[in-house]
Chains A and B, each alone.
Chain A
Amino acid sequence: MAADSRLRVKSIEGVTQVEFIDRNILDEANIQAIGDEISELIEQADTPNLLLSFSNVDHLSSAALGALITINNKVKAKGGALRLANIDPQIYEVFMITRLNKLFEIHETTDDALKAFA
């Protein structure tokens, strides 16, 4: 992973757990960098099981939602699974307004999400 990584990544029992470091996932350069890093993780895995934790994230934009959709499409294309967790209530409302809570599998905590992979 690059030295200026915007992600904390660890693997637990076949699940790649990714935590965003940034509080704001708003601007295109930041989102592009995050998307590229996660795409690399997906490419490296035979069957990507990916858990994204939003515990540090206070703000995200529609461009960030777009990047998450692209990540979801890439994971699905490889027969993997994507789960999201630790989403702040204000940000969860963004998912509800856009109905993306129907597209993504969202769990309250990373523990809940990890159990769902089992």
Chain B
Amino acid sequence: MSASNGANPSPHADTANVSLPHDRDRIDALQSALMEAVERAGYPKPSRFAIKLAFEEALMNAFHHGHQGMDDDLEVRVEYEVDPSIVIIRVEDQGPGFNPDKVPDPTLDENLALPSGRGIMLMRAYMTEVAHNASGNRVELRYVRPED
């Protein structure tokens, strides 16, 4: 791991730790709070675009794939830490988990016309680091502020 990837938030980071129901108004409220924290921390527009996209993808993966076939009332645990040097987002669902490496590559010609399977690749493209726990029901996104 590079030194920059190992950056840790300061004790003064803007943080949240909530259990989120599958309710768009609640998701939007948390997303707005996160994006306001990211803006306060001085991240430029491309960073804000990346963080908003990855946050959305992580949440939708948790609710739609993580909890697939399960009770829609199940909540997802979301934590974030926003610091001027790094943003960390953790999303944990209550499902059995999955192996992210088994998701077919959506950029292959034969998969281009498939309507799903792009969430993980977008998170990986836009975040500095995307790590799943061993059971695959928890993802940690790390976004290290780019050099000016």
Contacts and interface: CB of A to CB of B under 8 A. Distances in A.
B116 A66 contact: yes
A73 B112 CA distance: 12
Contact of A70 (B27, B112, B115): B115
Nearest to B107: A99
Contacts of A66: 115-116, 118
Contacts of A97: 121-122, 125
A102 B118 CA distance: 15
Interface stretch (B10-18, B53-61, B132-140): B53-61
B60 A63 contact: yes
A5 interface: no
B119 interface: yes
Most central of A28, A99, A100, A102 by chain B CB within 10 Å: A99
Give the interface SS of chain B, mostly helix, strand, loop or mixed: helix
A63 B114 CA distance: 11
Nearest to A26: B56
Interface in B100-148: 106-107, 112-116, 118-119, 121-122, 125
B53 A59 contact: yes
A94 B106 CA distance: 13
A61 B56 contact: yes
B60 A61 contact: yes
Contact of A59 (B49, B107, B113, B118): B49
A24 to B, nearest CB: 9
B46 A99 contact: no
B49 A62 contact: no
Given A62-B119, A98-B121, 6 more contacts: A61-B53, A61-B60, A63-B60, A69-B115, A72-B113, A90-B45
- 6 closest Cβ contacts across the A-B interface? A66-B115, A62-B118, A99-B107, A69-B115, A62-B119, A97-B125
9 contacts: A28-B64, A59-B56, A61-B57, A66-B118, A69-B113, A69-B115, A90-B45, A97-B121, A98-B118
